Structure 1
Amino acid sequence: MKRIAPLALLALAAPVFAETQASAWPPKLTFANGTEVALAGNFAWDVNHFDADGSALENDHDWRRKEFGVALKRKGLYDFTAAYDFQSDTWMDVALRLDGKGLTGRDIGKWRIGQMKLPLGFEGNTATRNGAFMENSLPTQAFYEGRRIGIDWALERPRWLLNAGAYGHDLQGNNRGDSQAVRLAWTPWKESTHVLHLGASATREHPHAETNGLGVEIAPNVRWRAKPEASLTGTRLVDSGTLRDVGRIDRRGLEALWIEGPWSLQGEYLRQTTHRHALPDYRGDGWYLLGSWLLTGQSRSYGGGNVANPKATGKYGAVELLARYSHIDLDDAGIDGGRESNWTLGANWYLGSHLKFQANYIRADARRGGNHVQPEILQLRAQLYF
């Protein structure tokens, strides 16, 4: 009961909160020249229950996210965002974006400088508040490059969009090196309830050597692994181990999204190739496919090349049922990193614009070396965001 108490209290308060939150959140200050300053937050409390099947997974309940930030913008000219996750003690987006049309009178795209997500794939670029499932799929966890400091350019047209950038390390001082990334998407249908998005992306990373506290230089290395799509465990059922003497990492992605009224399908294929100086190249890949049905009739929101939570219209909001299959393969070049396939069933309840409840059931199937485990996982989440 202690584990589910925060979720139960939010559920009891939800109907009242949903009626009042629209006018109360987010806190915002508007100046005479149109400049706006607003607070932003994303707080999620999770409960995980495991039928471990010998996989060392342990039940837990805790905060998953405590994201808090500030946004400063003047519509049509610029916006600045700075956010920090106090649960994981990491910086999130800290970036200034300039609108080329507002500054020059011509639509030459939008430029962004600071720390941001690299434009690789679809799911990895979806905001944490907008995830259809509680956790990203296996291949996204393993292969997505994450946030880096750099400069980024995005150009969107009615039927396509292009995003490219160059990046270095992150604000935590990790991931030393340089990366280049590009993402191109074709959107022949882009209406409020009728969307088709097809895209491809690629990054090239050159990791740099680092010097430890003893003055010893450590050659570039990388490690590919994924949690079993569960939020609060540190256990990985598939893991390549640390690969050393890395010269270059190439990542590739294909993505697709279809929305038709309350129905939608979304899928991705991700692949990485690790080029090592004195050893064979190591490759890993994976894919997922998810389906969604909003039984209350709304549609998943789409804009800027990605999805957002549906608008929770009506007194009782929006209710969504989902299913996902994901797969990852980390066996290559004599390395037993393992293979894993997961089935996930999900249910989401959106109340107003800032409150969301999620439930996920996962059936995992992982083989690594001579080990074969099939844990079952039940997850619950209460999420407040603004």
Structure 2
Amino acid sequence: MQRALTVSVAGLAMIAASPAAHAQQDDRAIQAMQSELSAMRAAMDAMNTRIEELEGELARTRSAKANGAIPADAVAAEQAALAAAQAEPLPAEEAPQTTIAWNGGPELSHPDGWSFGVSGRLNYDAAYIDAPESTGRDEGFSSGARRLRVEFEGEVPGNFGYDLGIEVGSGEAVVMDATISHRSGPVTFMVGQHNTFQSMEELSSSLHTSFIERAAFTDAFVFERRIGVSAQYFQDDFLVQGGLFTDNIEAPDNRNEGGDLRIAYTPRIGSTQLHVGGSVHYTDLDGLTDSLRYSQRPLARPPRTRFVDTGDFSADSETGIGAEAAAIMGRFHVAGEAFWQHVERADFADPTFFGGYAEIGYFLTPGDRRGYRKGVFDRIRPTNPLNEGGFGALQFNLRYDYLDLQEADIAGGEQNLYGASLVWTPTDYTRFLMNYAYIDYDSAVIPTASGDNDYGVHSLSARAQLDF
């Protein structure tokens, strides 16, 4: 039941501009306001001085008049001058101004707490799949738009935020994110459609993954955005994320319900960033259907063939347990995850499926390293980007990816994937990826003409990516 494209809910919270850009804008705004206030104070001081002078002159005039030294009309002239000085309006205070910044996309912000931003991404993929010809699934070359997404994010006064993401990749618009959020210190509350809290690989943006497609188990076990309420806490290297969820916004009539919890410890020791975490997932299948289906493509999305596939099977609930770890040490990084998906069934044996991966990566360009922020991999920012006369960042990665859908009375097959990827990041917002994988299938669901279910498939994919 993998959905082709889904939507994220960061609490209808549209782009809060980058901290560095906001900080610079705030400094300039504060300096401008201070300059205006200083000018106003100087004008007021001059007026007060003039009023004091006129009052003094008037007092002297009255005294002289009482002694018969000056005529009455001179006193009247002094009084009129003093009244005019006192009636002169103060300089008007200039209203706070909206500032516009550019952080990939345009970001507007106002001192009152309003902000609005637009972002998006374009992913164009091409793939070549070489499978045994007698399977009838030797798909050869294919290409298409993997992701065409636009997102609106922002904040409103009171530390509230919103996020709405729309994606077009299969000929129709799909809501990815639709959230309303509220920040209170280190805690962020969120309601709407957003990612459930399973797997570091799944929660890392597709803009920042080291392979074109994520690890097999994240897709096979249908990790997706769902409608729910959640809270996230991050402080002192500790991350806690938890929420209650129903189903994806595309299935509003489905009455599935469940919860997710993820905890991670993210210390930075010297120049080394560490990550250790785990997650628990539960869904009670109480919707219009009470069945599941787990399957996976051969590390490419344009082809639709799934060589491992459980088909539909009855189920009452699913429980997932995940473990994750990563380290970034200069140009080198390692990452790995394991996930067990246990399914409860009323009249059949309860299977426990398994998936996991191990990955190592290295930047061939000096000074570059993988990005990381709050429990997920983040943007790579080349030390010498192409737009500044450099080459950008070049990264090489190796991965082993395992998925077992062969359990109890369910014969979904097993795969061992051996992959390599080359990622060129010429600028902060552009990437070009190429990955190759040899996938060794045991008990594949698509046999050859001779009935063989154990064979290998070659997968070669490329992507051109830009985001703003």
| Same-fold status (TM-score > 0.5) | yes
CA distance in structure 1 between the partners assigned to 2:158 and 2:434 by the alignment: 38
Q: In structure 1, list runs of 5 or more residues that go unmatched.
A: 1-21, 102-106, 211-218
CA distance in 2, matches of 1:313, 1:198: 27
Q: Please name the residue that 2:119 is paired with.
A: 40
1:331 and 1:98, CA in 2 relative to 1: closer, same or farther beyond 3 A? same
Q: Identity of counterpart residues, as a percentage? A: 25
Residue from 454, 461, 468 that aligns with 1:372: 454
Q: Which residue of 2 aligns with 1:283?
A: 352
Match of 2:379 among 309, 321, 330: 309
Q: 1:293 to 1:78 in 2, by over 3 A?
A: farther
One-letter amino acid matched to 1:257:
A
Match of 1:360 in 2: 435
1:190 shift after superposition = 6.1
Amino acid at match of 2:435: N
* Structure 2 CA distance for partners of 1:23 and 1:151, relative to 1, 3 Å: closer
Query: Contact (CA 8 Å) 1:313, 1:352: kept in 2 or not?
Result: no
Question: As a proportion of its length, which structure holds more strand?
Answer: 1
1:231-282 CA distance string (max 9 Å, x none):
21111110111112x2111011000011101100010001111101111102
Paired residue for 1:52? Answer: 131
Asked if 2 retains the 8 angstrom alpha-carbon contact of 1:324 and 1:344, the reply is: yes
1:124·1:144 contact (CA, 8 Å) conserved in 2?
A: no
Question: Which of 374, 383, 394 is equivalent to 1:319?
Answer: 394
Q: 1:343 aligns with which of 418, 431, 434?
A: 418
Paired with 1:264 and 1:194, the residues of 2 have a C-alpha distance of: 10
Per-residue deviation at 1:24?
Answer: 7.8
- Cα distance in 1 for partners of 2:188, 2:287 equals 33
Q: Please give the alpha-carbon distance, in whole angstroms, between the structure 1 residues aligned to 2:103 and 2:329.
A: 32
- Flag the structure with higher helix content: 2
Which runs of 5 or more residues in structure 2 are unaligned? 1-100, 385-389, 445-451
Q: How many residues align?
A: 349
- In the aligned structure 2, how far is the partner of 1:27 from the partner of 1:130? 21
Q: CA deviation at 1:35?
A: 2.4
The reply on whether 1:295 has 2:361 as its aligned counterpart is no
**What amino acid is the match of 1:38?**
G
- Higher mean alpha-carbon deviation, 344-353 vs 32-41, is at 32-41
Deviations 1:127-169 (A, max 9, x none): 1211111001111211253111011111112232111100112
Q: CA deviation at 1:86?
A: 0.7
Q: Secondary structure at the match of 1:94?
A: strand
Shift of 1:29: 2.2
Task: Give the alignment partner of residue 179 of structure 2, picking from 95, 101, 105.
Answer: 95
Which stretch has the larger CA shift, 79-88 or 316-325?
79-88
User: Which SS does the other structure have where 2:299 is aligned?
Assistant: coil
1:161 matched to 2:239? The reply is yes
User: 1:330 aligns to what?
Assistant: 405
Alignment deviations for residues 311-363 of structure 1 (CA, whole Å, 9 cap, x no partner):
12312211111111100111111221100011111011112221110000111
Deviation at 1:188, TM superposition (A): 3.2
Whole-angstrom distance in 2 between the partners of 1:57 and 1:34: 56
Amino acid in structure 2 at the alignment position of 1:302: Y
TM-score scaled by structure 1? 0.86
AA of the residue aligned to 2:272 = H
Q: Is the 8 A contact 2:394 2:422 kept in 1?
A: yes
- Whichever residue aligns with residue 106 of structure 2, its letter is P
CA RMSD in angstroms, aligned pairs only: 1.9
2:328 alignment partner AA: I
Counterparts in 2 of 1:258 and 1:336: CA distance versus 1, 3 Å: same
Within 2, Cα distance between the matches of 1:74 and 1:304? 23
> Hey, what's the Cα distance between the residues in 1 that align with 2:113 and 2:430?
28
**Matching residue within 165, 190, 213 for 1:83:** 165
